[in-house]
Every structure is written in C-alpha cells, then in structure tokens.
Amino acid sequence: MKTWSLNKLYLGFDDPNYTKDLERLEKLILEINQQEVDFANYENKMQKLVRFLNNQISFDELIGKLYRFASLTESVESTNQSAVKMSNSLRRKFTELTKVTTVFNKWLANYPEFDKEIEANPFLKKHEFYLNEIKANASHMLSDEMELMIAKLRQTGSSAWGILQSLLTSTLEVEYEDRIITLSEVRNMAKDPDPKVRKSAYEAELKAYKKIDKSVAAALNSIKGEVNTISKAKMFDSPLHQALFNSRMSMETLEAMQAAVKDYYEVFRSYLKRKAELLGHKNGLPFYDLYAPIGSVNKRFTVEEANAYVLKNFKTFSDKLYNMAKRAFNEDWVDYTPRKGKRGGAFCSNIHTIKESRIMTNFTGAFTDMITLSHELGHAYHGEVIFEESPLNSSYTMPVAETASTFCETIVNKAALRDATSKEEKIFLLESSIQGYTAVVIDIMSRFIFEKAVFEGREKTVFDADELNELMINAQKETYGDGLDPKILHPYMWVNKPHYYSGGLSYYNFPYTFGLLFAKGLYSKYLEDKETFVANYDLLLAATGKNTVEDVAKLMNIDVTKKDFWVSSLELLKEDIELFLEISK
C-alpha cells in the first residue's frame, strides 16, 4: 500500500497549526465582511478595490489549505468523521462571504472609470480578466439575500446529495465469488486478462448497484432539480448555457466539436467491432469487454516500474516536466492503491498555498493505470505553471483543465508504442490508447446526451432508477451504435460517476473531449517544432486562468470555433484506429 503524505499541509486535525489557521480564517472572514460598508459609495474606490482583492487572495490561500487537507483526507477515508465534519464546516465558511461578495460584485459592475483605473494600477491590471469576468457575472446575480440563501441551502441540498453518492459508492459491498470487495476493486477487474473474470465482475457490479440505486437516483434527481431552478433564476437559458459560461467557452465551440465527433462515430465503431471479433463476439462488443486487453502483453507494473517509465519519457519533453514528476514520486504526492473507504477513479489537486499537488489513483499494475498516472501528473504540471500566477488568476476552467493531462498521457502512450518489440505488443499498446480515445470521445458523448436528457426531463418529472437506466441505455446506443452488443450495455453508468453529482459543476463531460482533441492538436504542433513549442507551452498553460477557451487556443494559432480544427484532431485518432485495424487482421 503506497499512500500520499499531507504533512506539508498539516499533521492532522489536532495539529496546533490547523487550529491556528482556523482561528485566522475566522478573523479574516470578519475583516472581509466588515468591508461591506465600503461598497455603499465610490469614495477612495481604488483603495477599496485593492484591499478587497488582497483579502480575497489571503482567504483563498488559507481556506484552500484547510479545505484541501480535509477533502483529501476524506477522499481516501470516506468514513473518517473528523474529515467529513471539517469538510462540511469549511464549505459553510464559503457561504459566510456570500453577501459581501454579492455586494462587491454589483459595486464593481457599476465602477466609474473602470478601464482607466485598471490601466493606471499594475496590481489591478494584473487581475484585469478576473475583474472583467466579475462584471460579466453580475448580470446573472440575484439579490444579496437570495444569493446568501442559495449558498446556505446548497449545503443541505446538492452538496449533501453529492456526499451521499460518494459515501454509498465508496462503501458499497460487492459480492464476488463468495467474498466482499469494493466497487473500485470490481470495476478494475474490467481490465483483467481473463474473460471469465471480466464477465463475472460486470455481473457482480450490476447486482450490487441494486442495493443503492434508489438512493443514488434520489440524489441525482435532487441535484439536477436544484440546478434547473437556480439556473433559470439566474437568467441562463439552460444549465448547459450556464456550464459553458462557467467554462469560458462558447456554444459555437461546443457545437463545432460535437458535430465533428458525430462524423467520426463510424470510425470508432469499426474499432469496437474488430475488438469484438478478436474476442470471439458476433453481435458487437459486450460492455464488460470494453476495457479487455488485446494482444499477448500481460505485463503488470509495480509502482516503481510505472514511475520509472513515466520519468524516462517525461524527460524527452522537458527537464521541468521530468523534475516535477520526480518530486511527486520522491516527496509522496501520490496515493496509489485502492482500499475500502477510498473513492474510485483518479484526480489531481493543485494546492496553491504550498505550490504542490496531490494525486489519487487506484493503481493495480495495469498498463492503463500507468497512463492514468501520467495523466494526473499532467494536471500537476499545469499546477506548476499556474502556481507562478496570482491565486485569482489560477482558476482555469474544465475544458482547458484536461489539456496538460492529455498531453502528458500522449507522451507516454507514443513512447510505449515506439518501444514495442513485437506485433502483439504493438497491438496491445495501440489498442490501449484507442480504448482511452473511445472513452473520451464516444462514452463522454453518451454521458453528455444522458445528462442533457435528465436536465430536460427534470423540468417535468422525477426519474426512478429504472427510468435513469433506460436513459443511459438509449445514450449508449446512440453513440456506440452497433459497436457494442445492444443486449449487454451498462445501464448503471450514472450511479458510479461522481461527475453528475455536483450542484456547482454541471456537464462535467464535454471538457474531457475538448482536452483530448485540443491536446492532440497541440501535440501535432509540438512535433513540427519541438523547441519553440516547449517554450510557448508554459505560456499557454499560464494563460488558462485569465482567458477564454477561444483566446487560449489563439495563442497557438488555433480556432476552436471551426469544425475543421476538430476534424484535424480526430484524423490523428483515426490514423491510430486504421493502424490497429491493419495490424490486427
């Protein structure tokens, strides 16, 4: 068992430094709230504005440190009551600034001679995008009292429902071959080389969901209903429009990307049907074999082997990337292995206060686990670059959040393919990459379709678990088509994905597709001129916290509002699929 160290944050909830920082937080909240009177007029307005921003920076760094310690602890110890209670308590602290923040935002929206004063003050100029974004957000703000009420109600509404989903799935007992295992363990069996294990694990997983599906359905209905209500009150056309607004991304960009993706459905289906043939299936691929390994390479990686391989290939890109990953391994940034009470999946948390990240994976030794590790280290590298920015310029949106991670994943994937010494190994490695493409392009599209259907349906009804299963099956049929066996799909994919269970982050799906395809386009540019690209790459990542998605892309002369760019990226994926089809004959 290899776990991370959070000692750079605190030694525990009983650490005197944790107590001191909680006391500092209370004083800072009081000081910020007392500034509400400043926004009754515009006398000495520049001084008021600078003071508020500086206080906000202090608050973000302090509560970020306190909250990260609690939430990171909870993510690997879901039954740790100290972590659960502290996470909940700190989420409430955010709401204690809701009123003064609302008053400030409205004050800023009508700030006299705004542009002139921004230009005259270097500190304000540094935060120009952040301030302009607040002005844009003001048109979607409700009354001070209403914003405060919503923030407080969310703690016992969508936030609580999200915690319930996390608790139910992380503690779900799955009966597998006369023993009890966790959900993350049984889902990891989808990658097992033994077809009997994959099928029996899939059946055990679906059976286990029946223990919690009604409760999780209640959570999903409640969250989506809340978001519908608040989105409408804030004058957004829909939760999707609100998600795009929050992503700093235009509908034009989303539609261009998804139009291109739909044109390539058949390309991915041809891969799925070939994989089905190779595994002996006649009616398309059964869902439980989506992640089945193809080829004769059954090598398992130890943590040390995976780390060494990642380091070797990161070194080919830049010393900065290599050194960051080395620090991550040597200084215990990574929590690797699955265990009871630890949530499934993987994530990276950038911690601005200590200028380090923490990574959680559920590493079992599969090749895909090593790819996941490289992916999360990409997020950490994004953090390394963004740590040089002001905390107020470090909040990048979900579409560009997947750029560095997917880029790093590509580096390792391409290296593994080059290092392959036999046809069977090349098939294995190539197919592993295409598995990932299919998940991020096709499965993500099915999740988008499902979530959109739930949002639209919640305007009129409440869904029971069976109806949610049906929506998921329909979404999978629409995207996977005849690539999957229509009789063996996965109706419960809505239960195990935490992405659906946030009141403040809807449509946590299309950003993954954006990240993959944008990163592929960037990788193509990297191959054209490596030296120039590496120098400009950090500038692009640094810009993600203070630009729209479209303007970030323009730094590399890319127009993401045009379908042509997305087609060019999908063509790179098509090349891999065609190579797989050729060598797997």
Q: Which one-letter DSSP state was computed for residue 516?
A: H
- Position 432 scores a pLDDT of 84
Can you tell me the mean pLDDT for 408-417?
88
User: Who contacts 500 (Cβ-Cβ below 8 Å, separation ≥6)?
Assistant: 220, 223, 451, 454, 494, 508
The closest of 265, 288, 192, 295 to 483, measured between CA atoms, is 265
Assign 422 a pLDDT band (cuts: 50, 70, 90).
confident
Q: How far apart are CA 149 and CA 164, in angstroms?
A: 22
Helix (H) or strand (E) holding 109: helix 98-109
Residue 1 has pLDDT above 70, yes or no: no
- Dump pLDDT digits (tens) for 291-348: 998 886 667 899 999 999 999 999 999 999 999 999 999 999 999 999 889 988 899 9
Pure H helices in 388-502: 398-401, 403-419, 423-438, 444-457, 465-480, 493-496
Q: How far apart are CA 385 and CA 505, in angstroms?
A: 24
Q: What residue has token string 């659960």?
A: 84
- Dump pLDDT digits (tens) for 250-300: 999 999 999 999 999 999 999 999 999 999 999 999 999 999 988 866 678
Mean of all residue pLDDT scores within the chain:
94
Q: Which domains does the chain have, with CATH numbers?
A: 16-156 (1.20.140.70), 172-296+435-500 (no CATH), 303-424+511-560 (1.10.1370.40)
- Dump pLDDT digits (tens) for 100-123: 998 999 999 999 999 999 999 999
The 3-state DSSP class for residue 180 equals strand
Q: Which residues pair with 176 in a beta bridge?
A: 179
Residue 366 has pLDDT above 90, yes or no: no
Residue 417 buriedness (CB in 10 A; 0-12 / 13-18 / 19+): middle
User: Who contacts 499 (Cβ-Cβ below 8 Å, separation ≥6)?
Assistant: 447, 508, 509
- Position 419 scores a pLDDT of 82
Residue 378 has pLDDT above 90, yes or no: yes
- Position 398 scores a pLDDT of 85
- Dump pLDDT digits (tens) for 199-245: 999 999 999 999 999 999 999 999 999 999 999 999 999 999 999 99
